[in-house]
């Protein structure tokens, strides 16, 4: 008989379950030849006594070994080590020559998307004026508690199965209540469709609402990835001017008299990228034009909660009584980019159609995440987080704006934004942003080249978004020093 107690060592403090430690140890000894093929194994009762563990633990270990094919049981005879052991390493396909296997290029043709450029995400070891929230402010402990709470309950197991394609009901319920309370809307959970972020919401709406050749109105400057989602759906973009009061609705009216417009996309709260707010009068005229000419309003309210000066204007959707608005919201911009949770609020028939599209994209969202967020809303964790970060971002905005006025008044023109996480900065023509971007990148500080905002080469914009949310004031101060130093070098020639 083998010295089982000496062969199988159990570490009580290990994070690996005891049954798994036992199974792993037996596998190791089978591989090494200590435990022979075809050998009869001790019964679970006997081995549990030898190892001083509960018999259920030993049964679980044997079940694991049996499932992997290392042992098998014969009725009335016992448990034996398998004669044919599992493959430890997959066999190579003999027809493949490793020296010729590069996989750099396909052996067939496929459609190349001409509208979308490869993304450039910020490098982790760089600071700079990134356009997004500071993930260091995320309430990690609260997230952890919420996740554990969901998964530790027996009732939580159904969140690991297939669920409604529209999203978790509890989350749709709290989001509906949030929209009704803070945005003056009149929704029910059935009017809400959960997505993996606002970009997915935009893409799905484009798939449902836009056909090839449809004309869609967007701002002269607009969110790059929205433009690409619309173009991928076959839309022809019609650009209109944007001034300090938002998109020019008078120009929109003139266009509608000449062309059949399918939809108008607006970021009404803070226009992207210029951060201006669509004024109340233009909101009401936009809605009236939609009803008159029959176009859809796609309202992307990506940062409604990030407002510093006063109560924000209610979204266009709050005044919609004829089902002309599809409203997009998100938590990704206000909490963390990795929290891929967005939503659409819209009439019921559009929600139903989005559900059909969902089934051929990814079946459903992330049920565990959605339930965890719903519970965090109910416990007040999300609202507390928003109040905390709003104060912090307000301080960061004021710091950046004061420093820009103090140090760069002659070279950078901007208006202090009422909300959001970025300043729209227009640089003097003597400081070309693409060159500034390259020079600062070499010094470990990122500032956008602004090229993504030049929707027409004739625009020749020398402007970009300078984010203040990503960095604390000390990091912003260091980034501004590099900016100052780099501009001085460029002006010297």
Cβ contact 54:95 at 8 Å? no
Is 245 in the same domain as 289?
A: yes
Highest mean pLDDT out of 46-60, 116-130, 236-250, 302-316:
236-250
Is 157 in the same domain as 225?
A: yes
| 147/166: higher pLDDT | 166
Is 303 in the same domain as 345?
A: yes
Rounded CA separation 79/62 (Å): 9
Distances, alpha carbon 92 to alpha carbons 88, 89, 104, 105, in Å: 13, 9, 20, 22
Mind spelling out the 3-state secondary structure of 315-364? Answer: CHHHHCCCCCEEEEEECCCCCCCCCCCEEEECCHHHHHHHHHHHHCCCCC
Distances, alpha carbon 323 to alpha carbons 167, 234, 290, 295, 320, in Å: 22, 24, 10, 11, 6
- Tell me the pLDDT band of 338, cut-offs 50, 70 and 90: confident
- Tell me the pLDDT band of 215, cut-offs 50, 70 and 90: very high
Q: What is the CATH number of the domain that holds 226?
A: 3.40.640.10
Q: Is the residue at 121 inside a domain? A: no
Q: Is the residue at 117 inside a domain? A: no
Q: How large is the average pLDDT for residues 446-474?
A: 90
Highest mean pLDDT out of 95-99, 298-302, 334-338:
298-302
Locate the DSSP E strands across 92-225. 127-128, 192-195, 215-219
How much of the chain exceeds pLDDT 90, in percent?
A: 57
Q: How large is the average pLDDT for residues 260-286?
A: 96
Cα 152 from chain centroid (whole Å): 26
The yes-or-no verdict on residue 310 having pLDDT over 80 is no
Is 266 in the same domain as 409?
A: no
Is 226 in the same domain as 282?
A: yes
State the pLDDT at residue 93: 56
Rounded CA separation 43/90 (Å): 32
Indicate the number of domains in the chain.
3
Cβ contact 84:71 at 8 Å? no
The yes-or-no verdict on residue 220 having pLDDT over 80 is yes
Least confident among 109-113, 249-253, 322-326: 109-113
Distances, alpha carbon 187 to alpha carbons 173, 210, 243, 349, in Å: 9, 24, 32, 14
Tokens found for residue 266: 């607006």
Among 342, 362, 381, identify where a domain stops.
381
* 3 state SS of 215: strand
Is 175 in the same domain as 35?
A: no
Is 374 in the same domain as 472?
A: no
Tokens found for residue 27: 């596998």
State the pLDDT at residue 464: 96
| 312/216: higher pLDDT | 216
State the pLDDT at residue 125: 66
State the pLDDT at residue 476: 96
| 229/95: higher pLDDT | 229
State the pLDDT at residue 249: 98
| 207/309: higher pLDDT | 207
The per-residue DSSP string of 32-71 comes to HTSSPTTPEEPPHHHHHHHHT--HHHHHHHHHHHHHHTSE
Q: Is the residue at 90 inside a domain? A: no
- Tell me the pLDDT band of 156, cut-offs 50, 70 and 90: low
Is 287 in the same domain as 180?
A: yes
| C-alpha radius of gyration, the chain, whole number | 29
Q: How confident is the model over 341-397, as pLDDT tens digits?
A: 999 999 999 999 999 999 888 877 788 888 889 988 888 888 898 899 999 999 999
Least confident among 6-10, 37-41, 49-53, 232-236: 6-10
Q: Is the residue at 106 inside a domain? A: no
The yes-or-no verdict on residue 101 having pLDDT over 60 is no
- Tell me the pLDDT band of 460, cut-offs 50, 70 and 90: confident
Among 339, 363, 381, identify where a domain stops.
381
Q: Which residues are within 8 A (CB) of 347 and not within 5 positions of it... i.e. 6 or more apart?
A: 191, 323
Q: Which residue has the tokens 């499932």?
A: 67
- Mean pLDDT, rounded, of the chain: 89
First to last CA, the chain: 85
The yes-or-no verdict on residue 87 having pLDDT over 90 is no
| 96/212: higher pLDDT | 212
Is 331 in the same domain as 287?
A: yes
State the pLDDT at residue 126: 77
State the pLDDT at residue 424: 97
Beta partners for 327?
299, 345
Q: Is the residue at 103 inside a domain? A: no
Rounded CA separation 91/78 (Å): 32
Is 370 in the same domain as 304?
A: yes
Among 354, 381, 408, identify where a domain stops.
381
Distances, alpha carbon 56 to alpha carbons 23, 27, 59, 73, 378, in Å: 13, 19, 5, 17, 39
Q: Is the residue at 99 inside a domain? A: no
Q: What is the CATH number of the domain that holds 414?
A: 3.90.1150.10
Q: Is the residue at 95 inside a domain? A: no
Rounded CA separation 429/461 (Å): 9
Q: Is the residue at 120 inside a domain? A: no
- Tell me the pLDDT band of 331, cut-offs 50, 70 and 90: confident
Is 352 in the same domain as 428?
A: no
| 87/465: higher pLDDT | 465
State the pLDDT at residue 305: 87
What are residue 142's phi and psi, to 5 degrees?
Answer: -65, -40
Task: Name the residue range of residue 459's domain.
Answer: 127-132+384-492
Q: What is the CATH number of the domain that holds 33?
A: 1.10.10.10
Is 297 in the same domain as 370?
A: yes
């Amino acid at each position: 008989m083998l010295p089982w107690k000496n062969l199988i060592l159990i570490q009580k403090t290990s994070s690996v379950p005891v049954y798994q430690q036992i199974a792993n140890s037996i596998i190791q000894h089978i591989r090494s030849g200590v435990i022979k093929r075809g050998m009869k194994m001790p019964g679970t009762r006997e081995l549990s006594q030898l190892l001083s563990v509960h018999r259920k633990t030993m049964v679980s270990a044997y079940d694991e070994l049996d499932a992997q094919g290392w042992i098998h049981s014969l009725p009335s005879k016992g448990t034996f080590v398998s004669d044919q052991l599992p493959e430890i390493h997959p066999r190579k396909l003999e027809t493949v020559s490793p020296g010729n296997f590069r996989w750099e290029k396909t052996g067939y043709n496929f459609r190349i998307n001409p509208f979308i450029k490869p993304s450039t995400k910020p490098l982790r070891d760089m600071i700079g004026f990134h356009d997004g929230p500071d993930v260091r402010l995320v309430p990690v402990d609260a997230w952890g508690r919420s996740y554990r709470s969901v998964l530790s309950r027996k009732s939580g197991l159904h969140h690991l199965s297939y669920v409604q394609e529209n999203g978790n009901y509890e989350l749709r319920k709290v989001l509906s209540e949030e929209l009704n309370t803070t945005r003056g809307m009149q929704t029910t959970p059935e009017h809400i469709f959960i997505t993996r972020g606002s970009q997915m919401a935009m893409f799905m709406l484009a798939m449902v609402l836009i056909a090839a050749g449809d004309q869609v109105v967007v701002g002269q400057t607009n969110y790059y990835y929205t433009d690409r989602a619309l173009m991928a759906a076959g839309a022809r973009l019609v650009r209109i001017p944007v001034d300090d009061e938002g998109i020019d609705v008078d120009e929109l009216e003139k266009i509608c008299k000449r062309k059949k417009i399918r939809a108008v996309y607006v970021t009404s709260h803070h226009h992207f990228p210029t951060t201006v707010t669509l004024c109340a009068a233009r909101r009401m005229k936009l809605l009236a034009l939609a009803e008159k000419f029959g176009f859809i309003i796609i309202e992307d309210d990506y940062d409604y909660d990030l407002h510093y000066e006063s109560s924000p204007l209610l979204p266009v959707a709050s005044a919609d009584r004829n089902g002309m608005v599809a409203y997009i919201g998100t938590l990704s911009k206000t909490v963390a980019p990795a929290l891929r949770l967005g939503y659409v609020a819209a009439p019921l028939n559009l929600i139903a159609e989005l559900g059909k599209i969902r089934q051929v994209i990814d079946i459903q969202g992330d049920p565990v995440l959605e339930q965890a967020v719903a519970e965090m809303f109910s416990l007040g964790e999300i609202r507390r987080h928003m109040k905390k970060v709003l104060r912090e971002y307000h301080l960061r905005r004021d710091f950046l704006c004061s420093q820009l006025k103090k140090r760069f008044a002659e070279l950078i023109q901007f208006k202090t934004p009422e909300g959001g996480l970025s300043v729209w900065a227009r640089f003097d023509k003597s400081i070309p942003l693409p060159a500034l971007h390259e020079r600062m990148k070499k010094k470990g500080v990122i500032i956008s080249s602004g090229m993504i905002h030049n929707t027409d080469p004739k625009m020749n914009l020398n402007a970009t978004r300078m984010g203040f949310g990503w960095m604390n004031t000390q990091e912003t101060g260091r980034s501004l020093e590099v900016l100052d130093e780099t501009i001085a070098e460029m002006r010297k020639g």
